[in-house]
Structure 1
Amino acid sequence: MADRARWEQPFPARFLIVGEHEAGNRTDVDLLLGRCAAVEGLFADPPPPPREILVLRGCTPGVTAGWLGSAAITGRSDAGREYGWELLDAEVLVVGPHADDPALVDLVVATAVGEVADFRFAQDPCERFALADSRNEPLTTCARVTGLLVERPRSAPLPVRLIGFEPTEPLRAKLDGGHPGWPLYTELWALDDDGRVLDRISTGLHIDRTSPSVLRGGLLDVQLSVSPDRLPGPAAREVWRRWQPGPPEQPGGWRGLGAAAKQAWQTLALHRLDPGPDRPGGEYHLAGAGVEDVTGLHCALGEAINGPGGYYGREWNGLKDCLGGGFGPVSPFTLVWHDFAVTERELASEEDLAGEPSYPEDLARLLEGRRVRVVRA
């Protein structure tokens, strides 16, 4: 990768534009399309989705007026298909009687609604709905939701500017030929100080305009339109700064970061992962004190298994994938979980379990079910 980052300029290439290239019957060959000195707009905070009023009609009682925060509505069709809507910063404004059945209630909810990619409004309508909280605990079920089953515009793309961009000949030929969106799948690769890949962002190549670069030297400044859900966002800025000199050499660099920044940390950990062949056996030590939250626990687990800046799943399902192989250690092995009780106390504020096993205990049982010996120290 360091070779691809070299160019004849008085400043380093910090980013590469790489496209998916067809080679014979393969379409996964990386094609270098260009290098650039800097990118502006990666850490933009997109505007929040608009607030809406939903009315959940014919609900089972039990929900009271008040703030819900993050929540979700699940709809089920007669065909058995489920659809989900994420509710952001939701608040139950009014709990009122249901006109057709005094045993039921109607809920008036103010919220922003997340995007739904594949809802088939006409072909497969939902017949019943369920409202759940952020822990996926059910709150109520209802017959219908007024205001939910509507088409919503996708988030407007945001401008991302490539500063000091030098296209390679394949891209220059396509641009000169009037094909500004080629190839269809394009990534922006951020590089660290040694030219290693820091992150890969699926930006596409939707070029709005080009102009001679402020850096001169025959370079270009190029403005792209990028969907906001593809950008790393503001929480990643500090994480990138910490990883810019190279992968961390000491554990715990993620401690003290917010949950979104820890997620960005794990994204960088995944991109620099070089686990080698699957390795059964061995003993690994998880530092369970000071993990702060669930995301921090997975950061600590990644470091325990694969060293500082290591990755071993960013959440529950990601951990199951890692246990299946391809990420270094595979079972059977031993994990010594130091300060296990401290981990449970730290994560207790995120849970309302009413006697159910804690998230750390559930995670330990998942590992044990996959032939990992967990020592709760």
Structure 2
Amino acid sequence: MAAGGAGGFAEQRRWERPFPVRYLVVGEDEDDGRELLLGRCAAVEGLFTDPPPPPREVLVMRGCAPGPAAGWVGAASIAGRTASGVEAWWSLVDAEVLSIAPSFEGAALVDVAIGAGVRSDDWHRNADGPFVRFELTTGRGPVRAAGRAVPGLATDRPTAGPLPLRLVGCEPAEPMRAALRKRRGRRPGYTELWSLDDTGRVMDRRAIGFDAEWTRPSVLGGALVDVLLTVDADGLPGSAARPAWLSWRAGPPQRPGGWRALDAAGRHAWLMLALHRERPAGPDRSGGEYHLPGAGVRDVRGLHCAIGEALLGPGGYYGWGWDALSDCLGGGFGVVPPFTLHWHDFAATERELAAERDPATGLGYPEELARMLERSGVTVVRA
């Protein structure tokens, strides 16, 4: 589907009813690829549903050097590396190091037992040889344990099943009415749900597909209908995003620092809302001086919230990670080099992100990011 705002649907954001339009259902015209309005809705139930956690497993990292300690780890990952350098990753949910025991791999080595829910990224399918090393990490932090084998890790696991999403008080346009009249299993092509704030601006866009389970007269009455869809669980924002959404519901932020009270998942949701914010038309600006408060960012997500805010004001977006920031520096997001960035309390940023250190270079994430900015033509003044 072509990118863009909801300018062509501005007249569809209002209707003569005692409650506002909160959501637009948008499809893709099969002939020319243009965005096509399928319907508009008063509410959606299930948007913040969390998928069930993956089943718990016990993994044993064999042949590790002594050093890891038993205890709760939290969100983590295991990286597998092949002899040719190919990497694969598995996400660990609520991980805990259960025990450390002598290893049969060698007298000076230990086996590390880990309990966790495991999500496969299926990247191991692309590996060109057997894995020779496995590393347990949290974020970009130091390696917690490194072993020669993790039996049972590189296996297929079932993905999370679809979740229900109910469109409440929906007024279908003709393409959507035609699709709903067809038998189950027949559906439009690519479909997105656009969430609107109180001002009618688009605050989020996400693919939902159009697997309709049933259609009924709406609980809101009139000629409206309720439609039950089943959607990919990974496509929903989840419960952790709700505080950020509530903050943005009144419209784009007007004051700085709204993201600071959110937890890590909430700060990620904030960045996604900033990404989808409609940006004013016009050329990027360059030059000038900007000020980045480096204290209190807490983690990588918080740092990128602060960078977007420093360059573009409250609710500004300038990348949500390393690669995304690099894309922004190339243009199209409001500001391009050359410009000067005064990074205040840089040492505080380094301390807060101390765990986010590249084992290969020994550099912390803030220093690596500052150097990348400098290579791109930004003058970074570490204060």
Provide structure 1 residue ranges, at least 5 long, that are not aligned to the other structure.
none
**Whole-angstrom CA distance in 2 between matches of 1:277 and 1:224:** 40
How far is the alpha carbon of 1:280 from its aligned partner?
2.2
1:310 matched residue in structure 2: 316
How far is the alpha carbon of 1:95 from its aligned partner?
2.5
Residue deviations 1:252-308 (CA, integer Å, cap 9, x gap): 121211111111111111111415323221222223343333322211110111111
Residue deviations 1:101-151 (CA, integer Å, cap 9, x gap): 434333222111113235439x96633231231135334443332221332
Check 1:70–1:12 CA distance in 2 against 1; reply closer, same or farther (3 A cut).
closer
Check 1:145–1:347 CA distance in 2 against 1; reply closer, same or farther (3 A cut).
closer
Check 1:177–1:160 CA distance in 2 against 1; reply closer, same or farther (3 A cut).
closer
Assess if the C-alpha contact under 8 Å between 1:68 and 1:133 holds in 2. Answer: no
**Whole-angstrom CA distance in 2 between matches of 1:317 and 1:120:** 23
**Whole-angstrom CA distance in 2 between matches of 1:81 and 1:357:** 22
2:24 matched residue in structure 1: 16
Check 1:79–1:208 CA distance in 2 against 1; reply closer, same or farther (3 A cut).
farther
2:365 matched residue in structure 1: 359
**Whole-angstrom CA distance in 2 between matches of 1:302 and 1:46:** 30
1:321 matched residue in structure 2: 327
Assess if the C-alpha contact under 8 Å between 1:75 and 1:126 holds in 2. Answer: no
Quick one: which of 338, 342, 351 aligns to 1:336? 342
Residue deviations 1:229-252 (CA, integer Å, cap 9, x gap): 111111221222221221112211
Aligned residues between the structures: 372
**What is the one-letter code of the residue matched to 1:332?**
P
Assess if the C-alpha contact under 8 Å between 1:59 and 1:105 holds in 2. Answer: yes
Quick one: which of 274, 277, 290 aligns to 1:272? 277
1:84 matched residue in structure 2: 89
**Whole-angstrom CA distance in 2 between matches of 1:23 and 1:278:** 33
How far is the alpha carbon of 1:200 from its aligned partner?
0.8
**What is the one-letter code of the residue matched to 1:339?**
D
How far is the alpha carbon of 1:216 from its aligned partner?
1.3
Tell me whether 1:238 sits opposite 2:246 in the alignment: no
Quick one: which of 227, 235, 239 aligns to 2:232? 227
**Whole-angstrom CA distance in 2 between matches of 1:288 and 1:5:** 39
**What is the one-letter code of the residue matched to 2:284?**
D
**Whole-angstrom CA distance in 1 between matches of 2:102 and 2:353:** 38
1:22 counterpart SS class: coil
Assess if the C-alpha contact under 8 Å between 1:212 and 1:220 holds in 2. Answer: yes
Tell me whether 1:158 sits opposite 2:163 in the alignment: yes
**Whole-angstrom CA distance in 1 between matches of 2:368 and 2:105:** 43
Q: What RMSD in Å do the two structures reach over aligned CA positions?
A: 2.6
Check 1:329–1:284 CA distance in 2 against 1; reply closer, same or farther (3 A cut).
same
Assess if the C-alpha contact under 8 Å between 2:141 and 2:357 holds in 1. Answer: no
Assess if the C-alpha contact under 8 Å between 1:73 and 1:129 holds in 2. Answer: no
Assess if the C-alpha contact under 8 Å between 2:357 and 2:365 holds in 1. Answer: no
Quick one: which of 123, 126, 132 aligns to 1:128? 132
Tell me whether 1:217 sits opposite 2:225 in the alignment: no
Task: State TM-score, norm by structure 1.
Answer: 0.89
1:4 matched residue in structure 2: 12
Provide structure 2 residue ranges, at least 5 long, that are not aligned to the other structure.
1-5
Residue deviations 1:301-321 (CA, integer Å, cap 9, x gap): 101111111001112222111
Assess if the C-alpha contact under 8 Å between 2:69 and 2:100 holds in 1. Answer: yes
1:175 counterpart SS class: helix
**What is the one-letter code of the residue matched to 1:22?**
E
Assess if the C-alpha contact under 8 Å between 1:235 and 1:260 holds in 2. Answer: yes
Check 1:290–1:102 CA distance in 2 against 1; reply closer, same or farther (3 A cut).
closer
Check 1:290–1:179 CA distance in 2 against 1; reply closer, same or farther (3 A cut).
same
Check 1:77–1:238 CA distance in 2 against 1; reply closer, same or farther (3 A cut).
same
**Whole-angstrom CA distance in 1 between matches of 2:297 and 2:134:** 33
Check 1:340–1:125 CA distance in 2 against 1; reply closer, same or farther (3 A cut).
closer
Task: State TM-score, norm by structure 2.
Answer: 0.88
1:250 matched residue in structure 2: 255
